[in-house]
Structure 1
Amino acid sequence: MRSLRQIAVVSSVAFALAAASAAAHAEKITIMVGGATKIIYLPAKLTEQLGYFKDEGLDVDVESQPAGVDAENELIAGAVQGVVGFYDHTIDLQSKGKEIETVVVFGQVPGEVEMVTSAASATVKTMADVKGKTLGVTGLGSSTSFLTQYLAQRAGVSANQFTMLPVGADNSFIAAVKQGRIDLGMTTEPTVSRLLQTGDAKVLVDMRTVEGTRAALGGTYPASSFYVQRAWAQAHKDEATKLAHAFSRTLNFIATHSAEEIAEKMPKDYYGNNKDLYVGALKASMPMFTKDGRMPADGPQTVLNVLSAFNPSVKGKHIDLAKTYSNDYLPAATATASK
């Protein structure tokens, strides 16, 4: 009996050493995030913090770029293997002859909020009131600019009846509000909570929930996601599958843990000296995340509708939506994450 136990111990040690060796010799995978501290992209850093990449035997380096378009360019150049950004980039790039596919959907909705400054809130009650106003977006040609124009169009206001001003995100967005350079603007958490806390702006259109997004856009709008070049995924199916499994596990963790528990796992510089605000922003954002990384059935068409209306690269083009995403790399079922 003792010899059997000894054999079992030796075998388990050997297995652990083999797993450690495999991880040590794994090819480094670099993932670029279009603004890592944004809560819409939370699963990227959280997966690293939870150790799920290492559990899969992967050597992953998570880096951050302030804008999604910069991360996209790094992917196309082959400088990084994957990007965490908005799903709509896969549609935009297909129209330009690039084959990119989302393999994990983080957010089934944009997580974006159209905020109206307190000064303008007396006259702006809905998007139908934005005529003659200046609306802040992260950048011209960005996802926020297309969404802004689409929201206005659905309210009967054409793009030539208001001005869009690129003001970036986070602190630069807040500065634009405080300085009165914009009347409204589209941003995400935790910026939304910061502006609500100071009283500088109010929520006009809330796309942090499925209900709010369907009311605003007519369907779910898959946004934050993990995407790669299709050729890379096909040539590195094992790595793509392991990455998808790690992210799926994180999404399940988010679904089964409180905002306080999730915040505990994040680096301190993500919430600074105001952890309570960060927790509050997390609570407001958690409904946006998928539980397993799968693409919502009505999502791709809703995104295409928005881009076809205002993105000159996509308008009038045939887009094969089936090539913009894949659920094939995800696990058949995600085991419940342990607390």
Structure 2
Amino acid sequence: MGALLAPSSGGLAMRLSIALLAVLLISASGAEAQQTVKIGTTPSFVFLPLYVAEQLGYFKAEGITAQFVDFEGGAEVTTAMVGGSIDAGGTMVERPLILAEKGFGAKNLVALENRNPLHVVLRANHPAKEVKDLKGSRLGMTRAGSGTDLSLRALLKDAGLEPDRDVAIIAIGGVSSANAALKAGQVDGFMGGEPATAIAVHQLKLARYFLDPRMGQGPKFLQFMTFPTVQVSDRFIQANPQAAEKIVRAIVKTLKRMREDPEAAVRVGQKLFPTLDVSIIRSIITIEKNTYFPQITEEAVHQCNQAQKQLGVVKGDIAYDKVVATQFKHLWDQ
């Protein structure tokens, strides 16, 4: 009787096979749930939220495996997105406006910071109190046609100063060369981003913050003429609407974490910029956490459009829903 009740070797093998098949199916479904998205960007503090989303698992939790592709600047990111070698770009909000005038459809999905991250520092003993006081100064920017160049020229013109005539504008490159130029007295200050400015102010003690859109300073157009976003082509949204939605969800959650727990962002910053002193990283995030909001408002896009039009970057007025993926707007407030 006992022999009759004992499981046969064939039955045991069958149950083991079924169990193994179940494990394989679960593993396969998990693998299918993760979608690889190639994100092109420039490793800098402006795009830190992208790296925080990856490092802290917010992309993974949404079923996205982020694969970062590094580029020198926004123009290169946009070219790669248009060409299809990347799926999404971490670059500046005006890029889809530029593409729209060229007949290529692309949309901003979500902001990484909701204000212009570029700002002006001056040597510590510079007497200027207002922008008009900069007449006769020599100011640096990274390179001709860059966001720092365009932002600086727009700021000076708004104050009634003529760039290159009233204020010398000099290309000084990136972090190390910008601060070397300031230290050598080749420039009186520069329009730049982090970490160059924090190093100049806090580490080298060469400069002071003069005008900072991140803190709501300066004319409104300057605050919104450029700011970092995640953007994708229209064809990507059409082919991968769920992936686009997941990217938005991940970034919204990431920005909330960065506002509420800035030390988490500091730790990611240390990994991304291992040669920077942690106090510099912390000082940057202390300021930039005020901008970690996902909303891309109609007013911001309008201000951006008008500023870029004044600079000759775009020619016309471009509709909000032509450059912003409005179907995902409701996710920004979650």
Is residue 248 of structure 2 the alignment partner of residue 248 of structure 1?
Answer: no
The 8 Å contact of residues 98 and 314 in structure 2, kept in 1 or not, is answered as: yes
Higher Cα Rg: structure 1 or 2?
2
Which amino acid in the other structure matches residue 22 of structure 1? E
Distance 1:196 1:155 in 2: 25
Q: Which runs of 5+ in 1 are unaligned?
A: 1-9
Distance 1:69 1:222 in 2: 14
Instruction: Tell me the equivalent position of 2:131.
Output: 127
SS in 1 for 2:212: strand
Instruction: Tell me the equivalent position of 2:295.
Output: 294
- In 2 relative to 1, CA 330–301 (structure 1 residues): closer, same or farther, beyond 3 Å? closer
Which amino acid in the other structure matches residue 37 of structure 2? I
Percent of counterpart pairs with the same letter? 20
Query: Cα deviation per residue 1:61-119 (whole Å; 9 max; x = unaligned)?
Result: 01222322221221122111111111011222222332221001111111221111236
SS in 1 for 2:37: strand
Distance 2:327 2:226 in 1: 17
Distance 1:282 1:57 in 2: 27
Distance 1:149 1:222 in 2: 13
Moved more, 128-137 or 233-242: 128-137
Q: 1:154 aligns with which of 143, 151, 158?
A: 158
| Matched length | 312
Instruction: Return the offset for 1:221.
Output: 4.8
Q: 1:99 aligns with which of 105, 110, 114?
A: 105
Distance 2:147 2:289 in 1: 21
Distance 1:225 1:65 in 2: 15
Instruction: Tell me the equivalent position of 2:320.
Output: 321
Instruction: Return the offset for 1:157.
Output: 0.8
Aligned Cα root-mean-square deviation (Å): 2.6
Is residue 196 of structure 2 the alignment partner of residue 195 of structure 1?
Answer: no
Distance 2:188 2:104 in 1: 37
The 8 Å contact of residues 294 and 327 in structure 1, kept in 2 or not, is answered as: no
Distance 1:70 1:205 in 2: 28
> What is the TM-score of this pair, normalised by structure 2?
0.84
Instruction: Tell me the equivalent position of 2:221.
Output: 217
Moved over 4 A (4+): 12-16, 218-222
Of Structure 1 and Structure 2, the greater helix share is in 2
Q: How does 1:21-60 map to 2 (within 5 A)?
A: 21-23=31-33, 26=35, 28-33=36-41, 35-36=42-43, 38-60=44-66
Instruction: Return the offset for 1:217.
Output: 3.3
SS in 1 for 2:298: coil
SS in 1 for 2:85: coil
SS in 1 for 2:255: helix
Q: 1:86 aligns with which of 70, 87, 92?
A: 92
